[in-house]
């Protein structure tokens, strides 16, 4: 027995698996297992807490995103139709903007088209109405001119208010002119020149005795003024069409609040 014990000890010593570097193969350390398990638990808890902390931030960011940045997977039919019409309007307006700048296809006619647009500005019409009102000597003429002046002032205020609400820019990046700033016609929707031309043509057709050729020329003038604003790139087609509609509605408003001859005389005497 005493001889067998030293032999077994020698065998254990000579056994390679009993060395310290190979003990983890047969007998894994408990400390390492506990450290690994605790590390996994801590990492899992940290990931869960991080996910919980990130979820409110992501929710806040998603709530703060504007509506235009949110993708609509199922847009409505009205939205598709509106966006399609808007795209067609922009495309057609850019095609008709043949005088938007000097390099355009009709760039040489830009000055003439601008001159046609000046005939629809509010400042020349207001100045001309005031001059005619001063020189007028008949009660009927003064009544018509005073109501015309009222219509022009209402047109400037209504169009300026609608443009401030819509804040739509034209198809081309063109800065407004001095007369545009004076009449507060700085945005595209609705077209102030078109509304003024429609209102004036309807006003003259109703309150002036004109021959048929002159009546046709008056209507053509209003249409050409609206078209000129699209050709120089200041307005879209829908801006001009809406301007015609608003011009007619302004005429109907002036007809409803028409000032009588006595009221006009009282205002003229105060002035």
Instruction: Specify the pLDDT at position 59.
Output: 54
Residue holding tokens 């139709």? 81
Q: Note the pLDDT of residue 85.
A: 85
> Could you tell me the residue ranges of all domains in the chain?
109-270
Give the DSSP letter of residue 168: P
Identify the pLDDT of residue 246.
Answer: 95
Contact status, residue 237 vs residue 89, Cβ threshold 8 Å? yes
As a whole number of angstroms, the distance between CA 141 and CA 262 comes to 13
Query: HEC string of 170-212?
Result: CCCCCCCCHHHHHCCCCCCCCCHHHHHHHHHHHHHHHHCCCCH
Asked if residue 146 lies in contact with residue 267, where contact means CB atoms within 8 angstroms, the answer is: yes
- Residue 226, pLDDT score: 93
Q: Which residues are catalytic?
A: 193, 235
Q: Find the radius of gyration of the CA atoms of the chain.
A: 41
The per-residue pLDDT string of the chain (271 residues; one tens digit each, 9 = 90 and over) reads: 555 555 556 565 555 455 555 455 445 444 444 444 555 555 445 444 444 445 555 555 555 544 444 445 556 777 788 788 888 888 888 888 888 777 777 878 888 888 888 899 888 999 999 999 988 888 988 999 999 999 999 999 999 999 999 888 888 877 777 777 877 788 889 999 999 999 999 999 999 888 999 999 999 999 999 999 999 888 899 999 999 999 999 999 999 999 998 988 888 888 7
Q: What is the pTM of this model?
A: 0.69
């Amino acid at each position: 027995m005493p001889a067998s014990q030293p032999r077994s000890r020698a065998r254990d010593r000579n056994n390679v698996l009993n060395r310290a570097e190979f003990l983890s193969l047969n007998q894994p350390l408990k400390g390492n297992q506990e450290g690994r398990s605790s590390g996994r638990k801590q990492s899992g808890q940290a990931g869960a807490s991080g996910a919980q902390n990130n979820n409110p931030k992501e929710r806040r960011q998603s709530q703060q995103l504007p509506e235009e940045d949110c993708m609509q997977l199922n847009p409505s039919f009205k939205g598709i139709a509106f966006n399609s019409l808007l795209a067609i309007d922009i495309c057609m307006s850019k095609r008709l903007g043949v005088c938007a700048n000097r390099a355009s296809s009709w760039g040489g006619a830009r000055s003439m088209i601008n001159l046609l647009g000046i005939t629809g500005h509010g400042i020349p019409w207001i100045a001309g109405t005031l001059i005619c009102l001063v020189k007028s000597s008949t009660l009927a003429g003064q009544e018509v001119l005073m109501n015309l002046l009222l219509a022009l002032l209402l047109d400037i205020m209504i169009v300026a208010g609608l443009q401030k609400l819509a804040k739509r820019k034209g198809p081309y990046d063109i800065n407004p002119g001095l007369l545009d700033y004076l009449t507060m016609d700085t945005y595209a929707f609705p077209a102030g020149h078109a509304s003024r031309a429609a209102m004036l043509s309807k006003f003259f057709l109703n309150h002036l005795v004109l021959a048929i050729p002159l009546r046709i020329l008056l209507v053509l003038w209003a249409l050409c003024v609206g078209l000129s604003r699209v050709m120089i790139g200041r307005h879209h087609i829908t801006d001009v069409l809406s301007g015609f509609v608003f011009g007619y509605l302004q005429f109907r408003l002036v007809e409803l609040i028409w000032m009588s001859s006595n009221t006009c005389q009282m205002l003229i005497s105060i002035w």
